[in-house]
Structures are given as C-alpha cells and as structure tokens.
C-alpha cells in the first residue's frame, strides 16, 4: 500500500483552493445586502450585484469540481448558490400569456439610443411602426435626441396624439412620454450630475387617474470607460480610474433613487414607473424605486429575463413597475428588435 505523503506544493495548492472557495462563498452570499445598503454607505455590495452572474457561474464550477473529488468543501458553493434564491426569479419566469385580455393600458418603455443604432441612420419610423403594430397606447422613451421636438414625435408616432418631452436645450438627451390618453400634471426632475433624470405625467383611463414615471438614472459610463481601458497604455491607472468612475455612478444613482422614492411616495394616484434604471434587480437603486410596487416581469413574465442586448444578455436594467392594488400586469414581453443596445419592454395592464 502506498502511504507516501502528498508533496507540500500540492497541499498548499489544495489549501489555497479551499480558502478561495470559502471567500467566493462569502462574497456571493452577501449579494442580498446590495438591495438594502446605500452605495453612499458602502459601495462594494453594488459591485457584487453587478458581477453576481459571474460569481454564481464560478460557484457552480467549484461545486462540480468538489463533487468530482468528493470533497467536503462542495458545501461552500452550494451555500452560495442557495443563498441567492432572491435572484433567480428575476432571471426566469413561467407565466403563460393571457390571450384576449382586456388590458386598458398597453404600455412600453424603450431606451432608443438617440434613434441611431445601425449605420447612424434614424430608426424613429421603424420604432414607431413597431409600437403601432403591437397596439401600444402609452410609451416611455429614454435617450431621445436633444434636438428632437414634440412636433417631430407627433409626426412620426402618429397614433399618439399626446406627447411630452423634458426639453434637452439642444445639449442633453431627453425623456418622452407618448400616449393615446391626455397627459397632464407634467413635471421634470433633474440632478446636477443627471439632467432630465425623470419625467412624470398623469393619464386618465376610464375616469381613473394614473401617474406615469419615466426614469433614466445615472449612466454607468461603461462605454466611455471601456474605450479608455482599450487605448490607454498605463492600464494600472486606467483600471483605477474606471473603477472609481463606476463606483461614483453607483453613489449618484443611490442619491437619485432616494429623492425619487420620496416623490413617488407623495403620489395621490396609482403608479406606473418605468425606464432605464442602469441597475440590476440586485441593487439598491432597483429595490428603492420598487418599494411596494409590483415588477411586471415577476408578475407576468415568461422565459429568460434580460433587457440589455450586450454582455451576453446577462442584465435586466429596464423595468416596468406598477401599483398592484389598482393595476395588474396581464402580459409581459421583450421586443425582439435591434434598433438600440436595449430591448423594449411591453406590458399589458388592466385596471382593477
């Protein structure tokens, strides 16, 4: 029988592997804190929320290896995977679409990428036709070009007689709400770091007022950061600057959602809040805006949940939230069009 001791380098490597598995378990299991801890207090938890898909994949990989080796430390990735039960409903839902539903509000939200995605050509007419074909009657748009006017939108979105935009002053991208229902009580919320952060308007449907919120929270600046990382020679400083920029934007979004939540709490009417939050469902921003609202994907989604078309479609950062006491989502779907880096979200809602 061979009782030769395991060589010391192998023992050290095995010990380091187990330590890494424990650290991975702890970090992954802390993801729920991203929902509750403001990034102003501790920004690290927001990073966990962003990289959570990769962390879970790493845990699954470790679990397979540990099971293969029949090692006790397979319990570590198993704990991490089970600890994220709050995340999985945000990725997969199995609600069956309701055929012939009597939804009064056929709603959509879409970050239109300035109506310029393919070869820098305008996609406004194609997007308008898409929503018309899907019989949408209320739309929230983000990243409307700064020089776009209400008259431009009314002309192209001809089935939407009521249009309001934030006004970009020729400098900033705008938000827009378009509807077949009259719009009133219109207000714009801006922040120093984020002009045109939110647009609010009321619609009246069947003699019932509903407040529509169109939000576009602080950008991640990923595209700008990515360009810096690709072309800068001093990558050490580039990475430091990139992480600092993204972390600061977490904090900006945290302060924005705190202010917006107070505004939403003061609404006398049922709410439909939508837009590009630049946050995943495992984030302080999403959880704060959601509050006691319902997430249309959780209530009516069917299949894999994502809205950002890049990063292997890992992220759902565009949301439709609503007051569940007065409204009910009947159907939820992701539009299969490629006029933006985002996908449109379409939700049919009935009024109780």
Pairwise pLDDT comparison (37 vs 69), residue with the higher score: 37
- Angle of helix 44-68 relative to helix 8-29, nearest 10 degrees, comes to 130
pLDDT digits (tens, 9 = 90+) for 287-314: 999 999 999 999 999 999 999 999 999 9
pLDDT digits (tens, 9 = 90+) for 118-132: 767 789 999 999 999
Q: How many CB atoms lie within 10 A of CB 324?
A: 15
SS3 call for 256:
helix
Tokens 């985002």 correspond to what residue? 342
Q: Report in angstroms the alpha-carbon separations of 39 from 194, 225, 271, 288.
A: 17, 20, 26, 12
Instruction: Tell me whether strands 345-351 and 208-216 are parallel, antiparallel or unpaired.
Output: unpaired
Tokens of 290: 């959601």
Residues 28, 41: Cα–Cα separation, whole Å: 19
pLDDT digits (tens, 9 = 90+) for 159-187: 999 999 998 767 889 999 999 999 999 99
Domains plus CATH for the chain?
8-86 (no CATH), 95-351 (3.60.10.10)
Residues 114, 287: Cα–Cα separation, whole Å: 28
Residue 5 has pLDDT above 80, yes or no: no
CA angle 173-174-179, nearest 5°? 150
Tokens of 278: 């630049």
Tokens of 114: 């300035």
Provide the phi-psi class of 269: left if phi over 0, else alpha when psi is between -120 and 50, else beta: beta
Pairwise pLDDT comparison (108 vs 66), residue with the higher score: 108
Tokens 């959570």 correspond to what residue? 52
Pairwise pLDDT comparison (18 vs 13), residue with the higher score: 18
Residues 56, 54: Cα–Cα separation, whole Å: 5
Instruction: Tell me whether strands 208-216 and 271-276 are parallel, antiparallel or unpaired.
Output: parallel
The verdict on pTM exceeding 0.85 is yes
Residues 154, 164: Cα–Cα separation, whole Å: 10
């Amino acid at each position: 029988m061979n009782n030769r001791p395991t060589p010391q380098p192998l023992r050290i490597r095995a010990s380091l592997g187990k330590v890494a598995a424990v650290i991975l378990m702890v970090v992954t299991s802390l993801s729920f804190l991203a929902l509750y801890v403001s990034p102003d207090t501790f920004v690290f938890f927001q990073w966990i929320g962003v990289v959570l898909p990769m962390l879970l994949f790493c845990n699954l990989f470790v679990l397979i290896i540990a099971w293969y080796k029949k090692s006790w430390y397979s319990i570590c990735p198993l704990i991490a995977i089970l600890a994220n039960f709050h995340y999985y409903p945000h990725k997969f839902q199995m609600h069956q679409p309701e055929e012939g539903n009597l939804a009064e509000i056929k709603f959509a939200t879409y970050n239109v990428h300035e109506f310029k995605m393919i070869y820098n050509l305008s996609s406004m007419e194609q997007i308008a036709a898409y929503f018309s074909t899907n019989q949408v009657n209320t739309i929230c748009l983000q990243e409307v070009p700064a020089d776009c006017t209400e008259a431009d939108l009314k002309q192209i979105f001809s089935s939407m007689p009521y249009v309001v935009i934030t006004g970009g002053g020729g400098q900033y991208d705008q938000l827009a709400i378009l509807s077949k229902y009259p719009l009133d009580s219109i207000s714009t919320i801006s922040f120093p770091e984020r002009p045109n952060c939110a647009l609010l308007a009321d619609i009246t449907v069947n003699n019932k007022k509903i407040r529509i919120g169109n939000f576009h929270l602080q950008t991640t600046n990923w595209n700008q950061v990515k360009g810096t990382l690709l072309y800068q020679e001093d990558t050490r400083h580039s990475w430091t600057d990139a992480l600092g920029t993204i972390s600061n934007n977490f904090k900006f979004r945290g302060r924005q959602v705190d202010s917006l939540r107070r505004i939403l709490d003061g609404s006398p009417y049922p709410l439909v809040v939508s837009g590009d939050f630049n946050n995943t469902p495992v984030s302080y921003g999403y959880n704060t805006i959601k509050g006691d609202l319902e997430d249309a994907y959780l209530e009516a989604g069917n299949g894999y949940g994502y809205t950002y078309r890049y990063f292997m479609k890992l992220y759902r950062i565009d949301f439709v939230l609503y007051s569940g006491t007065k409204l009910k989502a009947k159907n939820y779907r992701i539009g299969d069009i490629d006029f933006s880096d985002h996908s449109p979200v379409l939700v049919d809602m009935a009024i109780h």
